[in-house]
Structure 1
Amino acid sequence: MTETPAPPDSGEVRINALEPWPDTVEWKPVSPSLIRVELVRLAIWLVILLAALITGWLLVGHWLFGAGVGLVLLFGAWRAFVIGRAVRAWGYAERERDLLVRHGLLVRRLSIVPYARMQFVDVTAGPLERSFNLATVQLHTAAAASDAKVPGLRPAEASRLRDRLTALGADRAEGL
């Protein structure tokens, strides 16, 4: 990995934007339970799509409905395989001045959210997430494109992260 030197006296190493998973930080993974949540979401959508296609096939009898069933099953199998890898690609790292959030397999994304730019932090947990004892931390900034989220956190970790980010954001904003 190539790193660019930071300005003198900053005490920070800058990260090369072309290498989205920098080795200079300690990445914290999301909970593996997020895999099960995503598999349940996938199963719900597959059941709905398959029920509609099979009903159409039984009522109309056209071969395209059968082909649709096959394609949905093929897509479901592929997506189930990819979900595990996609969840393991999620991670976050807390640094002195900012929070790094990474995710993505084919298109890797690294979001760097400076604490001073955060406007507020949400912790959400839908019914499915709550049933697996998970929550999502959503960071909001003035620029909508720079919002970041960290899904698949245990509620205690989500609360800790929310409180820490809120405190650091308030401290950094006072210095502006």
Structure 2
Amino acid sequence: MAERLDVTGAWQRVSMRYAFVESIATVVTWAVVGVGATVPLWFATDGEMPLWAWLPLAGAVVLTVLGVVFAFLRTRTIGYLERPDDLLVRRGMLFRRFVAVPYGRMQVVDITQGPVERMFGLRSLKFVTAAASSAIVIPGMPGTTAEELRDRLVAVSESRRAGL
């Protein structure tokens, strides 16, 4: 499918290792839901579970597989493009989102790293501007890339403060 936003430049994609981070979250979530819905049925049926009682666990397995597949597809859609006046961030498969963050409006550029991201050597870069709903996150960036981009963005935003 062709890009509908006509922007020249080389988009930088996040690491595909981020798909594994998302997959682990999906597996854990659906395992808890599946087991949490099946175990009470096991106790309610005195240990002899009829076939229908396994449906919640089977549904959780199907949703886990779909979630893992979509994690890899979603990861391919996340990217960013450094332009002369702003940083353009994109994400989304079905509902695409393109956000342009002007360098002069950036107030905070933050790097976060959860335990699973740490296992894969990834970090998330978060930009905050003066607007209330303007927290933009670029997840799945390798450590050195995230730090270099943060340093570049801080330097550029300091030189272009827009009346703040």
* TM-score relative to the length of structure 2: 0.88
> Given residue 46 of structure 1, which amino acid in structure 2 is its aligned partner?
W
The alpha carbon displacement at 1:67 in A equals 2.6
Q: What is the DSSP-based 3-state SS (H/G/I as helix, E as strand, rest coil) of the residue aligned with 2:126?
A: strand
2:110 to 108, 122, 133: 122
Aligned-partner Cα distance in 2 for 1:115–1:81:
35
Structure 1 equivalent of residue 83 of structure 2: 95
Shift of 1:25: 2.3
**1: CA distance between counterparts of 2:84 and 2:94?**
29
SS at match of 1:19: coil
Give the deviation of 1:43 after TM superposition: 1.3
Q: Write the deviation string for residues 59-116 of structure 1: whole angstroms up to 9, x where unpaired.
A: 1238765332222222112111111110000000111110011000010000100000
Q: Any conservation in 2 of the 1:125–1:134 contact (CA below 8 Å)?
A: yes
Q: Which has the higher contact order (CA 8 A, sep 6+)?
A: 2
State which drifts further: 40-49 or 152-161.
40-49
Per the alignment, residue 25 of structure 1 pairs with: 9
Q: Which AA in structure 1 matches 2:142?
A: R
The alignment of Structure 1 onto Structure 2 pairs a total of residues equal to 158
Corresponding letter in the other structure for 2:141 = L
Determine the structure 1 residue equivalent to 2:133.
145
Change (3 A) 1:56 1:19: same
Residue 175 of structure 1: how far off its partner (Å)? 7.2
Which runs of no fewer than 5 residues in structure 2 stay unpaired?
none
Q: Distance in 2 between matches of 1:41 and 1:55?
A: 21
Please give the per-residue CA displacement for 1:32-62, whole angstroms capped at 9, x wherever unaligned. Answer: 1101111111111122112212211211238
- Aligned 1:52-91 pairs, distance under 5 A: 52-61=36-45, 65-91=53-79
The gaps in structure 1 that reach 5 residues or longer are 1-17
| Conservation of the 8 A alpha-carbon contact between 2:31 and 2:60 | no
Identity of aligned residues (%): 33
| RMSD between aligned residues | 1.9
TM-score (structure 1 length as normaliser):
0.82
2:161 matches 1:173: yes
C-alpha distance in 1 between matches for 2:76 and 2:138: 12
Report which stretch shifted further, 106-115 or 73-82.
Answer: 73-82
Distance 1:68 1:97 in 2: 51
Identify the residue that residue 39 of structure 1 maps to in structure 2: 23
